[in-house]
Amino acid sequence: MLGITRYNASFFHSGSLKAMFTLQHNHPLINRTTFALPATAAHYIELTDSADLPALCQLPEYDRRTVCWLGGGSNTLFTRDYPALVVHIATRGIRETHRAGGIVHMEAQAGEILHDFIQHTLALGLSGLENLSLIPGTVGACPVQNVGAYGVEVKDRIVSVQCFDLEAQNFITLTNAQCQFGYRESLFKQQGKRRYVITAVTFALDETFTPKTHYGDLAATLAAQHGSQAPTAAQVAQAIIRIRRSKLPDPAELGNAGSFYKNPVITAEHAARIQQQYPAMPSYPQADGSLKLAAGWLIDQCGLKGKQIGGAAVHDKQALVLVNKNHASAQDVQDLSDYVCQAVWEKFHIRLEPEPNLEPHWDEQPVQHPCAGDSNS
């Protein structure tokens, strides 16, 4: 049965706090994740002011070990009902914090929708994030994954990340270097996982636009639309939006978590062996001599577009995306993902790593692959 309990934060925290929490019980989560798997949270709070975090942490329902901090839900799969507290980060606010030498620092609260924030900066005449247009999720989630697309990663533009430290119970600011960004990696996925709650992110944006259009089919799309004329940042964003919409399903119409797998990085020797059989295989050289491959291409070569297990399916246009085609269960998604990983391993001897976080997180198990001791080499 649904229930609601209201807490005045000042009851738990001395001082001038006047925030009011609305604690809901047995709250449905199906509309809180883009994959739309059925699940219920035992306790649920929508956080609209990060200043309330110290008081929230004093609630009897709060337990640092089990609390789930949820943003846009585009990278989270609930595998069953959540038997603890779920906090939805719904903070809003955008402001300029610094401007000098053609660089503008813009701070956005964690609950801001990333795509909407990017479009807002473009409307202000600022550039740097346009290649990330239409990536699902919130501003607060983007540093965790170090999201990227079309040759740009969000780390390239992050100045600092503001957080609440659950261990020390205070607010801190981490520099770009302290965030330890890597490919789809960060401090927040490693030793900082379940310690830091991201409250805001500050980005460095340009007043003068320098396009990055060499990646994938973006250059061809822009050439077809604008010929040899140099595109504006807004035109690059619109081209990317058009490309993504042509290939990727809208979560509002077909539940999905966006890219379901990381693009694997393999040795040059391994890549060369594959290219002997597949000369047209797309690959992207890395600084250390390794090559990044397109996970979607690998899955496509296995003939898995449209493959369905239960209510879950591989998208028929973009093999990198798994979709909730017909009231999928969490088990359907797991079984399909296992099937995809097995097929890619058998064909290419490459392990795929799923991107979404599984909740409850204490259910997480290491992904078992056919040759668990081997690497992508």
Q: What is the pLDDT of residues 203-224, one digit of tens each?
A: 999 999 999 988 778 988 888 8
H/E stretch holding 311 reads none
Based on the residue annotation, tell me whether 283 is a catalytic residue of this protein. Answer: no
Based on the residue annotation, tell me whether 195 is a catalytic residue of this protein. Answer: no
Does any domain span residue 369?
A: no
Which of 184, 194, 195, 242 is catalytic? The answer is: 184
Going by C-alpha positions, the residue among 20, 22, 44 that lies closest to residue 31 is 44
CA-CA distance, 155 to 263, in Å (whole number)? 17
Residues 199, 103 share a domain: yes
Which of 29, 64, 89 finishes a domain?
89
Which of 259, 283, 290, 337 is catalytic? The answer is: 259
Does any domain span residue 47?
A: yes
Residues 48, 79 share a domain: yes
Q: What residue type is 346 in one-letter code?
A: E
Does any domain span residue 242?
A: no
CA-CA distance, 296 to 177, in Å (whole number)? 31
Which of 71, 89, 107 finishes a domain?
89
Going by C-alpha positions, the residue among 334, 358, 324 that lies closest to residue 252 is 324
Residues 103, 85 share a domain: no
pLDDT at position 214: 83
Q: The pTM is what?
A: 0.86
Give the range of the structural domain holding residue 110, as residue numbers without chain letter: 94-206
pLDDT at position 6: 53
Residues 151, 181 share a domain: yes
Residues 13, 77 share a domain: yes
What are the beta bridge partners of residue 170? Answer: 165
Q: What is the dihedral of CA 308, 313, 316, 322, to 10 degrees?
A: -150
Based on the residue annotation, tell me whether 364 is a catalytic residue of this protein. Answer: no
pLDDT at position 337: 97
Which of 61, 153, 355, 359 is catalytic? The answer is: 355
Q: What is the rounded radius of gyration, in angstroms, for the C-alpha atoms of the chain? A: 21
Q: Which residues of the chain have pLDDT under 50?
A: 9-17, 365-374
Which of 37, 60, 89 finishes a domain?
89
pLDDT at position 49: 95
Does any domain span residue 313?
A: yes
